[in-house]
Structure 1
Amino acid sequence: MFNALMKSVFGSSNDRYVKSIGKLVNQINALEEQMQALSDDELKAQTHKFRDQLAAGSSIDDILPEAFATVREASVRVLGMRHFDVQLIGGVVLHRGEIAEMRTGEGKTLVATLATYLNAIEGKGVHVVTVNDYLARRDAEWMGQLYTWLGLTVGVIVPNIQEHERRDAYNADITYGTNNEFGFDYLRDNMKHDRGSMVQRPFNFGIVDEVDSILIDEARTPLIISGPTEDKTDLYITVDEVVKRVDPEWYEADEKSKNISWTEDGNEKVEDLLREAGLLETDNLYDVENTQVVHHLDQALKANIMFKRDTDYIVKDDKVVIIDEFTGRMMDGRRWSNGLHQAVEAKEGVKIEPENQTMASITFQNYFRMYPKLSGMTGTAATEAGEFWDIYKMNVVEIPTNVPVQRIDEEDEFYKNTQDKFKAIAQAIAEKSKIGQPTLVGTVSIEKSELLSKFLDEEGVKHSVLNARFHESEAHIVAQAGRLGAVTIATNMAGRGTDIQLGGNVEFRIDDELSDMEEGSKREAAIDRIKAEVEAERQKVLEAGGLFVLGTERHESRRIDNQLRGRSGRQGDPGLSRFYLCLEDDLLRIFGPDTLFARMMNSNLEDGEAIGSKWLSKAIETAQKKVEARNYDVRKQVVEYDDVMNDQRKVIYEQRAEIMDSEAVDDVVVDMRQDTVNAMVTEACPPGSYPEQWNIDGLKERLDEVLGLQPAIDNWMQEDQIEPEIFEERILAEVEQRMDDKIAATDPGIWKRVEKGILLDRLDHHWKEHLATLDALRQVVFLRAYAQKQPINEYKQEAFGLFERMLDTLREDVTGILLKSEFRMAPPPQEELPDLPDFLTGHIDPLTGLDNSNDGDGSADDPALFGSLAGSPRAAASPGGAATPADNPFAGQEVSRNAPCPCGSGNKYKHCHGSAV
């Protein structure tokens, strides 16, 4: 009560902060007339002037008012759009590395131009991160007109572009791209063997569009690059057959976490089934020899019980395609990890692709924290403000709307069951459709959207369905969702990227209706007619009450509900929103308090009857907060574990960069030899021990196995006062003599490349193996909690020990290869190393195996691994040996998959005529 009174008098801290930015806005506004008086050439010259000022010692903050005023005037001349004062406030917030929360329709894309231009003047690069490729291309083309007019360069990162195009895009002043493309490029860069072939440059400033979607929703799942392992198709199929015979009483399912555990009785019975199927190597299911079978058994059970067709995935073209739980989009090429996708494929009886091994991974948290300055914008961030500060140290600033919001948000309506709810929804939509009010319906799954579609058919209501099955036409469906009487069912509206305009979208109507009409007076007249029709229709829609947003149930996150609501009432338009709920909704069934169910069931609610109350809405919000808190804990746990790996990742990647930048690595290799010999001698002859306690036989065996040496250690043992230090000196002398002989017989330039190549290759190999070990460790370390130990602390300790062991193995491996290998002269290397093969790229939840990626780079059908030695050509190996398509004119020719296609399209062969080879 007291806090509310204080806010009414003094305003909230957010209000005071926004008000303080008003001084800067006044300075920018004061420069408007001065900017308007400049000619086009003089306005363009401002960029050069600002760069001179920065070179002379001015800071970016010093030039902010004049730079913002320049962008606003340039936007008026180039785009025909003038920044509102609230957009200037948003630009300042972005420049300061904070999150601007602005409602849908407030022009966030235009807001970003202010901070982007200001920070791009330095020439260090600005990354504008979007949620999908469509938005990256659209914004780069749309806002790029403004930047290029002002003398800046603009690049865009999208899938399937060639390496040199990707490098040029990163070297531009401003680079647009998706979060996945940026993250995967970072990982791929740190798998390359030549600094010149890397595409990214040092991080500077990033602006994240839809920041809550990218840094919150998708942050639970790390980006992973992987390569294939051996084929285990028969195992998946056999285990799936076993699981299909399992009785529901044998297991306990937790829908909250999508986990399943066997009961004690179920353990014994499934063990009998596995023994009958011949899958157990020993009698006891949980013996170490049966680890793999147990793992695949758990994944098969999860696939059959917890993952629902048309909700979590669909089957299309004999493939299991994942559905993004946040956007409802199909994620072609993305696969669940840890054998889960293979288990679903076995369940559905489609072709089973091989599993993959992690080769590089990073979480979005640790990727984006590498930017010295990071900001973001979205319509819904306030509910997650605490997490943004805890993880990214970013404040959320709520920016006021340019025009007061006119939308009416009604109380939720609550029904007894799904049938009653959907019947009421269909009737409400039919009523709105009759008066011409357009309706946007938000559902949480394909299944629910198709169920509602049947109810609407019964009511005779014409409607469009927007879900993963109709992905290709989504932009056209959304664009016309504001037309008179239109009814649009959308699986999820997050990140759709197309504005809903009342009366319809002029540009899309022109594309749809006049695409075949040639330029001329007839086309101009047709365009004028469409514009007039849209404006007339807009007035009718406004009179009908604007866009009606209807939610068929509450989402786990309040932000997703707010995103749906935010589609209505943009820029002062009237609008209406309402949610329909029932006891059978997942949110209430799984997370709702028991008292809620009890009270509702005892209220004797009649069939078809609805109630609504503030108490009910409060209970639902409480359930949503519980889910959000749980999801935050999951994300926090992921980043805690990845922080451990991140420290190691930084060491490895920095070491790789140093190796690539070095002319020669002989000093590193010499140190490795010395450390290897020292470790062997120390292990066999521990300090403070007596000669009779030394493991001489073990030392000889290790020297022969690792270094290929057979020194006369038995003779040395006959000497008086022999010490381990003498062993070490003599062994090292033999090692160095052999190395000197090899170096003397090889061209110095070639030897340098050999050393560098082997060092990089073995470093990559052991890092890949280390990642696989850490993955396995993370899967089992939670069991330590039963011993009253903190799993994260155990993980840190184990991971550190494994990292040290990996470095020891690396030293031995490099030393052994250089000592034992025979080197022959080979043809000189090509001037440019070939591109990295298209590894499988995924965005995988380490706890559930869920893939939350939307990186459609088409690489999922072309996994490959490194060549055996660094510096050797790394060829992409296409699995399965697919048949050559009849319409490929280059079939039978030896065309490299990474080479430009001979047809002259400019694309790589593998992405053009060779796509099915």
Structure 2
Amino acid sequence: MFGGIAKTLFGSSNDRYVKSLGTIVQKINGFEPTISAMSDEELAQQTVKFRERLANDESLDSILPEAFATVREAAKRVLGQRHYDVQMIGGIVLHRGEIAEMRTGEGKTLVATLGTYLNALPGKGVHVITVNDYLARRDAEWMGQVYRFLGLTVGVIIPNLSDQERREAYAADITYGTNNEFGFDYLRDNMKYDRASMVQRPFNMALIDEVDSVLIDEARTPLIISGPTDDKSELYIGVDAVVKQLVPEDYDMDEKMRTIVLTEDGTEKVERMLEDAGLLEGANLYDFENTQVVHHLNQALRANVMFKRDTDYIVKEGKVIIIDEFTGRMMEGRRWSEGLHQAVEAKEGVNIEPENQTLASITFQNYFRMYPKLAGMTGTAATEAAEFYDIYKMNVVTIPTNLPIQRIDHDDEFYKDTKDKFAAIAKTIEEHAKNGQPVLVGTVSIEKSELLSDFLKKAKVPHSVLNARQHENEAHIVAQAGRKGAVTIATNMAGRGTDIQLGGNLDFRIADELRDMEEGPERDAAIAKIKAEIEAEKEEVKAAGGLFVLGTERHESRRIDNQLRGRSGRQGDPGMSRFYLCLEDDLLRIFGSNTMFAKMMRSNIDDGEAIGSKWLNKAIETAQKKVEARNYDTRKQILEYDDVMNDQRKVIYEQRADIMDAESVSDVVEDMRFETVGAVVQAACPPGSYPEQWDVEGLQERTVEVLNVEVPVAEWIAKEDGLDPETLEERIREKADALVAEKTKEVDSKTWTQVEKSILLQNLDHHWKEHLAMLDALRQVVHLRAYAQKTPINEYKHEAFAMFERMLENIREDVTRTLAHAQFRMAEPPPLPDLPDFLTTHIDPLTGEDDTNDIDAGTRASADGFVTSRMPPFQGAGPRGEPEGVDPEQWGKVSRNAPCPCGSGRKYKHCHGAIGVGA
């Protein structure tokens, strides 16, 4: 109660914060007369002056008022748009690394120019993130006019650019692009073998448009770069043949839990059959060497015994297609993971598609948290304010509208079932459209859009249907959704980022209707005519009540509902909104099916009858809050697991960067050799043991295998009393160092450094790839630890750390072994491998929808929807046979990337310019 009284008297904390920014806005306005009096040249020179002031240790905050006034004047001259005072407040919020919640139609795109310009002045780059490629291109061109007028450079990142084009775009002061493009470029950069070939530069600031969509809706799905694993078709087929010989007595099955395990007799039987088939190493199925065979055996068992054809899947045109157990629909584009789909393909005797292996991955949460400054803007963020602060440490600031809101939000209407609801919706749409009022209908799925479209076709109501797939076409349709009598059906995300203006959008009408008309008096007259038509139509639409937003059901998140509602009532325009609900809606069916309200609805409402009240609205909002809290907990748990991998990812990527930047990595290699010798000696001569207890034979074998040196350990023990492991370690190290020292004399120091770097990076990448696969496997089973009263996340952290330590040990040993056995056959340095055309995927695990928008050249979409790649193998280094009559000595100097003069078709660096490094 007291909180409510205090809020009435003093305003909310948000109101007080916004009011405090008014003094800065006054300073900005104070510069306006001076800035307005400048010529275009003088205005453009402001950027140079600001940069000089920053070089003299002035802060961005101190030049903010003058810089914002400069941007306002530039926008007025270039775009014909002047920032409102509330937009200036939004710009200050963005500069401070906070989220500006601004209603639809308040000009967020223009607001972004303020914080972007100011933070681009130091020259470190500002990334502006949009939700699709169309908006990235549009905003870079549209707002880029302001930046270029003021002397800043603008780049845009879109799919299918070359590395050089991307490098140039990232080098610009301001770079536009989608979240997927920026994230994939980061991953690809950290897989390259040369700093000069990387495209991104150190992060400075990211400004995210539709921040709730990027950081919350899409954040549950990681970005993944992957490539196909080795073809294991023969192993799948071999194991499948063994499983087909089993009888029910050989295994125990739990249909409820969908698990199946071999009995003791079944295990013995399988071991004999696998041994006969040549698939088993040793006598025991569960030996470490047979881990992969056991995995495939388990999947083959599930495929043959538990998965039924025409129930769980069908075979169509030689492909296994999953059937959704809830809807009975074919789920083309989805594949079972962990080799299960391949096991079913082996069972059915169809072509076995290879599995994909993760080479690099990152979540949007961890990608964007790497930026020193992160800001965002959206029309709906307040409901997720706690999540934004907890995960990103970003405050949400609600910016007041420029003009008071005139929209009327009606109470929800409840119907008994979907048929009654959609019949009522169609009737309502028909009535409002006849009166000339434009209607924007929001649905939660494409299926519901098509269902409503059928109702409207029967009623002969003209309408447009959008479903968030062709962004540019949708933008043109949504822009005209405010025209008289227009009916537009859109899924939640369709047309986001496009302003709906009553009477129609002038810019889009000119672009659509006058596309082919040349500049001149005739075009000017046509534009004037369109302007007059829009003004007249706008008054008619206002008289009809403005834009009517109609929601066909409530979403799990209030934020999505508010996005739809916020389309109406822009810049003080009239408008109205209403949601239509029924008991068959997902929200009510899942979370309120057995409530008193549901029982009352079923028993007291007749067919076609509707009820509505504020009490029911409150009940729905409470249900939505509960779902939001649950979804937040789920996202937070996913992030906790990814944080473990993220810490390790940072270590690996920092090590890669250090290796690429270092003039010499000999110290690193020497430390690795030092650690490896210590590990080899310690394994054979445990601390506190006597010489007679040492594994002398094993030690001598290991030194030859790993260090390429023969060590007379037995002789040393026989000749010397009291020989300790430390002395032994020192002697072996001296021999290993001497061997490497001899090798360095065979080539010049520059070449040796290149050899060391190449071997370090390739070993690092190989083991990191294997480590990612092991972490994925661990994450899928660690929840079982809860049955032992252990916390899964703590167990995951502990196991992941131990695995990471083992990975580092393996890297040290492999690098030492490779360098010890390396043989040099040519004088040129070894080439660093070119990156193949990797696959990039961002696929929602719940829906199977591919949000990638980034299919690289050289990849093809497969039937599984996950994309499989024509991924060329790394070009191995080594001498090739020379064609008869070819004399390399007569070629002179050949560029490393030029075609080899021998006529092989390879680049010179992969052919005669290569150096062989091999064991």
How does the TM-score come out when normalised to structure 1?
0.84
1:788 maps to what in 2?
789
Indicate conservation of the 8 Å contact 1:27/1:65, yes or no.
yes
Matched, 1:843 2:850: no
Change (3 A) 1:33 1:355: same
Question: What's the CA shift for 1:61?
Answer: 0.7
Q: Tell me which structure has the larger Cα radius of gyration.
A: 2
SS in 1 for 2:397: strand
SS in 2 for 1:704: helix
Question: What's the CA shift for 1:351?
Answer: 9.0
Deviates more, 1:820-829 or 1:369-378: 820-829
1:248 maps to what in 2?
none
Question: What's the CA shift for 1:236?
Answer: 10
1:880 maps to what in 2?
none
Indicate conservation of the 8 Å contact 2:208/2:376, yes or no.
yes
Matched, 1:304 2:305: no
Distance of 2:636 and 2:878 partners within structure 1 = 39
Indicate conservation of the 8 Å contact 1:129/1:179, yes or no.
yes
2:565 maps to what in 1?
565
Change (3 A) 1:894 1:815: closer
1:738 maps to what in 2?
739
Question: What's the CA shift for 1:165?
Answer: 1.4
Indicate conservation of the 8 Å contact 2:91/2:115, yes or no.
yes
Question: What's the CA shift for 1:655?
Answer: 0.9
Change (3 A) 1:646 1:352: same
SS in 2 for 1:432: helix
Q: 2:874 aligns with which of 861, 867, 870?
A: 867
For residues 753-791 of structure 1, the C-alpha deviation after alignment (integer angstroms, 9 at most, x for no partner) is 111111111111111111111111111111111111111
Amino acid aligned to 1:864? M
Structure with the greater relative contact order (CA < 8 A, sep ≥ 6): 1 or 2?
1
1:51 maps to what in 2?
51
Indicate conservation of the 8 Å contact 2:833/2:874, yes or no.
no
Change (3 A) 1:348 1:812: closer
Distance of 1:397 and 1:337 partners within structure 2 = 42
Q: 2:854 aligns with which of 848, 853, 856?
A: 856
Indicate conservation of the 8 Å contact 2:836/2:874, yes or no.
no
Aligned positions of 1:464-863 closer than 5 A: 464-467=464-467, 473-493=473-493, 496-592=496-592, 594-596=594-596, 598-719=598-719, 720-825=721-826, 836-844=835-843, 850=848, 853-859=851-857, 860-861=859-860, 862-863=869-870
Amino acid aligned to 1:815? T
For residues 701-732 of structure 1, the C-alpha deviation after alignment (integer angstroms, 9 at most, x for no partner) is 33333334432222223232222123212222
Change (3 A) 1:359 1:81: same
SS in 1 for 2:493: coil
Task: Indicate the RMSD between aligned Cα atoms, in angstroms.
Answer: 3.6
Aligned positions of 1:133-152 closer than 5 A: 133-152=133-152
Deviates more, 1:48-57 or 1:419-428: 48-57
Amino acid aligned to 1:143? M
Distance of 1:336 and 1:855 partners within structure 2 = 23
Question: What's the CA shift for 1:235?
Answer: 10
For residues 220-265 of structure 1, the C-alpha deviation after alignment (integer angstroms, 9 at most, x for no partner) is 111111111245789999999xxxxxxxxxxxxxxxxxxxx96448
Change (3 A) 1:654 1:70: same
Indicate conservation of the 8 Å contact 2:468/2:494, yes or no.
no
Distance of 2:558 and 2:196 partners within structure 1 = 46
For residues 429-458 of structure 1, the C-alpha deviation after alignment (integer angstroms, 9 at most, x for no partner) is 111111111111111111111111111111
Indicate conservation of the 8 Å contact 2:363/2:642, yes or no.
yes
Indicate conservation of the 8 Å contact 1:494/1:564, yes or no.
no
Aligned positions of 1:880-895 closer than 5 A: none
SS in 2 for 1:115: helix
Indicate conservation of the 8 Å contact 1:415/1:610, yes or no.
yes
Distance of 1:177 and 1:366 partners within structure 2 = 18
Distance of 1:487 and 1:346 partners within structure 2 = 51
Amino acid aligned to 1:853? D
**Percent of aligned positions that are identical:** 68
Question: What's the CA shift for 1:340?
Answer: 9.0
Distance of 2:385 and 2:24 partners within structure 1 = 25
Question: What's the CA shift for 1:871?
Answer: 12
Amino acid aligned to 1:37? A
Change (3 A) 1:268 1:393: closer
Distance of 1:152 and 1:345 partners within structure 2 = 56
How does the TM-score come out when normalised to structure 2?
0.84
Aligned positions of 1:281-296 closer than 5 A: 290-293=297-300
Paired residues, number = 833
Amino acid aligned to 2:214? I
Distance of 2:810 and 2:906 partners within structure 1 = 35
Distance of 2:873 and 2:468 partners within structure 1 = 35
SS in 2 for 1:497: coil
Distance of 2:677 and 2:411 partners within structure 1 = 75
Change (3 A) 1:513 1:382: same
1:360 maps to what in 2?
360
Matched, 1:205 2:224: no
Change (3 A) 1:894 1:446: farther
Indicate conservation of the 8 Å contact 1:47/1:151, yes or no.
yes
Indicate conservation of the 8 Å contact 2:229/2:357, yes or no.
yes
Question: What's the CA shift for 1:373?
Answer: 1.1
Distance of 2:328 and 2:835 partners within structure 1 = 35
Question: What's the CA shift for 1:495?
Answer: 6.0
SS in 2 for 1:182: helix
Indicate conservation of the 8 Å contact 2:583/2:598, yes or no.
no
Deviates more, 1:702-711 or 1:564-573: 702-711
2:444 maps to what in 1?
444
Indicate conservation of the 8 Å contact 1:90/1:100, yes or no.
yes
Distance of 1:531 and 1:697 partners within structure 2 = 92
Indicate conservation of the 8 Å contact 2:157/2:169, yes or no.
yes
For residues 111-149 of structure 1, the C-alpha deviation after alignment (integer angstroms, 9 at most, x for no partner) is 111111111111111111111111111111111110111
Distance of 1:542 and 1:344 partners within structure 2 = 61
Indicate conservation of the 8 Å contact 2:751/2:828, yes or no.
no
2:900 maps to what in 1?
none
Distance of 1:650 and 1:231 partners within structure 2 = 31
Aligned positions of 1:64-463 closer than 5 A: 64-231=64-231, 263-264=255-256, 267=259, 290-293=297-300, 303-305=322-324, 320=333, 354-463=354-463
SS in 2 for 1:718: helix
Distance of 1:236 and 1:287 partners within structure 2 = 11
For residues 600-653 of structure 1, the C-alpha deviation after alignment (integer angstroms, 9 at most, x for no partner) is 345421111111122222222222222211211121112111111111111111
Question: What's the CA shift for 1:542?
Answer: 1.4
Indicate conservation of the 8 Å contact 2:833/2:875, yes or no.
no
SS in 1 for 2:225: strand
Gaps of 5+ in 1: 241-260, 323-334, 874-892, 900-917
SS in 2 for 1:738: helix
Distance of 2:904 and 2:90 partners within structure 1 = 55
Gaps of 5+ in 2: 241-252, 275-283, 314-321, 861-868, 881-902, 910-919
Amino acid aligned to 1:618? K
Change (3 A) 1:37 1:299: farther
Indicate conservation of the 8 Å contact 1:493/1:564, yes or no.
no
Amino acid aligned to 1:765? H
Indicate conservation of the 8 Å contact 1:648/1:803, yes or no.
yes
Change (3 A) 1:378 1:782: same
Distance of 1:746 and 1:178 partners within structure 2 = 46
Distance of 2:544 and 2:351 partners within structure 1 = 52
